[in-house]
Structure 1
């Protein structure tokens, strides 16, 4: 026994010495915004698809409208049968949600998930919802006494992170994106990708240093265009992130933000049907129309603008202003084709926004089977592969993923004993 012990001790020491630099424990954390009233805001989730999903399937996963999902990512909704377009695995998208005050904390409780065979809480949290929620949070929200047993068809509430901060950042309109930090992320890279600063991210997330860990969820302020609709309109406080669109007024009106400025600009939606009048009273101008008339004093600009959706009626406002010079043609955020592939390299940094993704012509590839589940993705996609459980720690780099040269060096050291 002594010989065996003497032989094993150096092996254990070598393995511990070599692998220690690659082993890092992950403890998930997220920004928590205390609240004390019933205020809500528009917010976004940064989500990476775990498998190929139809647009309608992804929308159903988060209980949002398919067109709302597409317009938030500036994806062209005019493509034929776009709701059945298949989005590729690993694609990063922004998911629009409503952020509300629940039990003194801002979060979203509107997403429900229907369990399927082979589901586990960790699989649902880490795979299906891409680390936006932890297994413990799902367990607590649904008062699950034994997480090892989930009934098939059980409806679970999935609490998702979000922040409002009065829909402003440094006194300017903003929409907050909940972003899950990836293994190779750096705070500076995230700040650069989303047109903000490291100091601003640290301030928003109450960080004492720039250190971030894979699995952390940080709030990222996105510059936005804010509305000034009356409080009695159904789309009161509508805020649209820069470079994207929002659909409102029962799919009749589409509002955009940027890229030239941060002023909300609304026009009739391309899919508008059975809508109330969008013509400004006492004029022949329609919603979104602008006319200019140069004069010696400047430029007289007359516009027909959107004023909110009130009791099923689209409110329009006719206004005339004198400006130093006549405005040029309005620039809309560029629309992109539905993405046909995802850049795998983006898994190790802030993923490209859809406006930077390469899209192709619509195709109808066959739907893939969800890995490990044996079931094709449906309205409530399941995930049977267990990932990081927030109540327990896991390895950032599994031994099986270590470089072959490192494995070979270990073997040589063992043989030399």
Structure 2
């Protein structure tokens, strides 16, 4: 398994967040996996984490955001946090800042959750399917994501849980 986010030696730790994966050497396509990452204040503006992505020939912001980071970020965010023009990203030996948004929740909704999964929506997702798969109520999920269209097939929502910050990727 190769990842632009984790080193190969980190996969044993990764499995502890992904009980649905019995073998670290074989993951079925379209399997969602949880990836832990720290969440910090970026430029005094937002909570997130910046991953450093080394470019390869043919990279575009669209490919980096969509394919390599499973829509955890957007082309707009890549433009915002990088100085490279979207049509002139260096082919090699450059580093792109990949900023991923995260959430600390809302204590007025509940103080019982310290972990929030940054969850990129994909085609076929619904409020009910995400609630069922996350073992949280649809009402709680909707309250933490007011105004979110869970069936949009794009965008991010935040799923409450317990533990450290994690993110869900499609592998």
CA contact (8 A) 1:168 1:174 kept: no
Q: Residue 172 of structure 1: SS of its match in structure 2?
A: coil
The total of aligned residue pairs comes to 163
Distance 1:112 1:167 in 2: 31
Q: Residue 56 of structure 2: SS of its match in structure 1?
A: coil
Q: How does 1:203-222 map to 2 (within 5 A)?
A: 203-207=143-147, 212-222=151-161
Query: 1:211: Cα distance to partner?
Result: 5.8
1:153 match: 93
Query: 1:160: Cα distance to partner?
Result: 0.9
Query: 1:221: Cα distance to partner?
Result: 0.6
TM-score, normalised on structure 2? 0.80
1:298 match: none
Q: Residue 41 of structure 2: SS of its match in structure 1?
A: strand
RMSD over aligned Cα atoms: 2.9
Distance 1:106 1:68 in 2: 24
2:14 match: 69
2:73 match: 133
Report which structure shows greater RCO (CA 8 Å, sep ≥6): 2
Query: 1:174: Cα distance to partner?
Result: 3.7
TM-score, normalised on structure 1? 0.35
Q: Residue 164 of structure 1: SS of its match in structure 2?
A: coil
Q: How does 1:5-404 map to 2 (within 5 A)?
A: 54=1, 57-58=2-3, 61-63=4-6, 65-74=10-19, 85-103=25-43, 104-109=45-50, 111-144=51-84, 146-151=85-90, 152-165=92-105, 170-207=110-147, 212-222=151-161, 224=162, 239=163
For residues 219-259 of structure 1, what are the alpha-carbon distances to aligned partners after superposition, in whole Å with 9 as ceiling and x for unaligned?
0112x2xxxxxxxxxxxxxx369xxxxxxxxxxxxxxxxxx
Distance 1:91 1:70 in 2: 13
List runs of 5+ in structure 1 lacking aligned partners: 1-53, 225-238, 242-349, 352-417
Quickly say closer, same or farther: Cα 1:76–1:135, change in 2 above 3 A.
closer
Distance 2:66 2:111 in 1: 35
Query: 1:153: Cα distance to partner?
Result: 2.1
Highest CA radius of gyration, 1 or 2? 1
